[in-house]
Structure 1
C-alpha cells in the first residue's frame, strides 16, 4: 500500500501540492470491487508507470496522471456510460482542490478513453494510447487480459459475448493505426495487430 500512496503523492507533486485527504481511499475502495478483474488497481498502476515513461510527449503531466487515476473509477460492465460517470466523479472530487480549467481538462482526458473518436488533444492521445497499450503487450499478458475481460462479463451468454467481443476487437484492427503517438505505435502497433488477429480467430 505504501507504493500506491507514494505514486499518488507523486501525481500531486507535479502540481506542487500535497495529496488531499480521503480521495485516494475512495478511489481504492472503488477499484477493489468484486466484479473487477481487469479494470482494477493493477491496471491503474500499470497506466501510471507508462505515463512516467511517456512524459516527453505530455504537455500537462499532472492532468495525465490524475485522469489515469480516475479513468475507470466507476466501472459497471452492465452500463455504457462508465467514462462519463468517472469524469463526473473526478469533477466532484477535484473541483474543491484545483482550478476549474484544469479539472475540466482532466475530465476531458477521461472522456477520451471511451475510444469512440479521435483524442481531443495531444495529452488525450497519450492517455488513450496508455489505456490501449495492453493490446500490444506480450501474447501471454494479452491472453490474461482477455480472460479477465471475459470474467467481467461472465453474465453475458457465450454466443453474444463472442459476437460483441469480435466486433470490438475488429474495430481496433480496422483503424489505420491503433495508436495515436509515434512512440506507442513503434512499441506496440505490430504486436497489437497480431494479438487482435489471434483473438478474433479464436472467437
Structure 2
C-alpha cells in the first residue's frame, strides 16, 4: 500500500491548494482509512491510485479536472459488499465532509457524479463520461492485472455461495461485454475498448 500513498497525498494536497479545505490532513487520513477497511479487496487505495493516475493523463480533455478528481476520491468512500446504497452513502459522506468548503453548485455536481457511478448510465456530460470510463478502466488492464482484479472482486464476495457467485459474476461481465460501446468517450473507445472486450471475452467463454 505504501507505494500508492505518496501519489495519493500529492493528489489530495493539489486539490487542497485549489479548493482550500478546512481540515485537509484530517480528511485525507479518514479517506485513506476508509479505503483500507478489511472488507475491501478491490475497492481499495490501489483502485483509487489507478483512477487518479489515469486521470493525470486525460486532464487536458476535461472541463473541470479538479471536480473529477474529487469525485474519484469519494466515489467508493463507503463500500460494503453486502449493501446496495454505497454510492448514496459515499455522496452523503462527501457532502458531510466538504459542503462547508465548496460552492453549493460544486457540491450538487459532484454528488450527482458519485451517484452516477452506481449504474454507469449513458450521459451527455463530458466530465462525467470520463469519470465513468475511468472507473471501468480496470476492464482494459493487462491480463495479469485483470486476473488479479477478478480475484479481488471474488474476495469481496466470499460470503456468497461460490456457484451462485460464478453465475452472477458472469452475468455482470457479459453485460459489460455486450454493451456497445462499453466506454462513453471517444478517447477510451479508441484506447481501451478493444483490450477490455478481449479481457471480458476470456472470462465469459
Which TM class, normalised by the smaller chain length? over 0.9
CA distance in 2, matches of 1:172, 1:2: 33
CA distance in 2, matches of 1:199, 1:41: 25
Q: Which residues in structure 2 correspond to 1:119-158 (within 5 Å)? A: 119=123, 121-158=125-162
Deviating beyond 4 angstroms after TM superposition, the runs of 4 or more aligned structure 1 residues are none
Aligned twin of 1:88: 92
Number of equivalences = 200
Q: 1:2 to 1:175 in 2, by over 3 A?
A: closer
Q: Is 1:67–1:109's contact at 8 Å kept on the other side of the alignment? A: yes
CA distance in 1, matches of 2:126, 2:158: 36
Aligned twin of 1:67: 71
Q: Is 1:14–1:61's contact at 8 Å kept on the other side of the alignment? A: no
Q: 1:133 to 1:116 in 2, by over 3 A?
A: closer
Q: CA deviation at 1:14?
A: 3.8
Q: Is 1:83–1:114's contact at 8 Å kept on the other side of the alignment? A: yes
SS in 1 for 2:28: helix
Using the size of structure 1 for normalisation, the TM-score is: 0.93
Q: CA deviation at 1:11?
A: 2.2
Q: Unmatched 5+ residue regions in structure 1?
A: none
CA distance in 1, matches of 2:150, 2:76: 17
Aligned twin of 1:173: 177
Using the size of structure 2 for normalisation, the TM-score is: 0.92
1:118 aligns with 2:96: no
Aligned twin of 1:11: 15
Aligned twin of 1:20: 23
Q: Unmatched 5+ residue regions in structure 2?
A: none
CA distance in 2, matches of 1:29, 1:104: 25
